[in-house]
Amino acid sequence: MPTPVETLERRIDELRTAVRQTVLAGDRAQARVLRAELRRAEREWDAALDGLVEKMPDAPLVPLRDQVHNALTLLGAPAAPKLVIAVHEAFFAGEIVGARLTSLRRDEERSFRSAPRQRPYYLCSALTADLLAPARGLLAVSTWPLSRRIVGPLSARVDFLTAAIRIAEQVERAPAATKLLWRFAENIPGAAAPGFAEVQPEVVARAARAELAVHEDADRSHREAAAERARTKLDDAAQLFGSRMRAVSQVNGGL
């Protein structure tokens, strides 16, 4: 069903056509009547549009790409859109519309390829360590070291623990983030301290660091080796947004 605004827009178009036809036909009296009706329709359209604007939520003060950048910077590791949205909701004002994230990375790539390095940062892809291809659904920041933007076999867990530590360190400035921290604590051994009704940020951070120490060196080695291969084999754009050559690891002899 058309909205009142759409109905008025069609009516205005019809009246403009009718006014033109009556003027060309020399019917001045009818033209005056139609012009008066056209002016009423245009006033009604203005009023209907104002009402529509009032019903819309306030536009975010921060552009979408900056909202995503803020969340990723707090996390300090590649993240899926769902986590980006959760972190933004917990720590920052405004709202991220999930549907808009779908095309954001593609828009960033188009911008970079048309005018390279004209922005302070780009929202780019995390890259898989084996194929140096875009890691499905993981966003990163172009200013991060290349090794941090690459994900290997252990990286999902390492990045999860890194994000848990960062959130635990920041949770005091955003009480709403406590619920988010609980979600991390439930998946880290020893992070939910016995006897505490609420999550303890220092306990979560300590438990996350203990497990991180187990995986960190092996993960870093894997990432740095892949990053070195990416620097020698990929151009600037592919280092940010990934290689489209599925066989890149085989052609280049693997890691």
pLDDT in tens, 71-104: 999 999 999 999 999 999 999 988 888 888 878 9
Q: What is the mean pLDDT of the chain?
A: 87
Bridge partner list, 12: none
pTM of model > 0.75: no
Q: b/e map of 97-121 (b: 16 or more CB within 10 Å)?
A: eeeebeebbeebbeebeeeeeeeeb
Distance between CA 139 and CA 175 in Å, rounded? 25
Give me the phi and psi of 73, to 5 degrees please: -65, -40
Do 166 and 76 form a contact (C-beta atoms < 8 A)?
yes
Residue type, 26: G
Strand pairing report for 123-128 and 134-141: antiparallel
- CA 174 vs. chain centroid, Å, equals 21
- CA-only gyration radius of the chain, Å: 27
pLDDT category, 198, cuts 50, 70, 90? confident
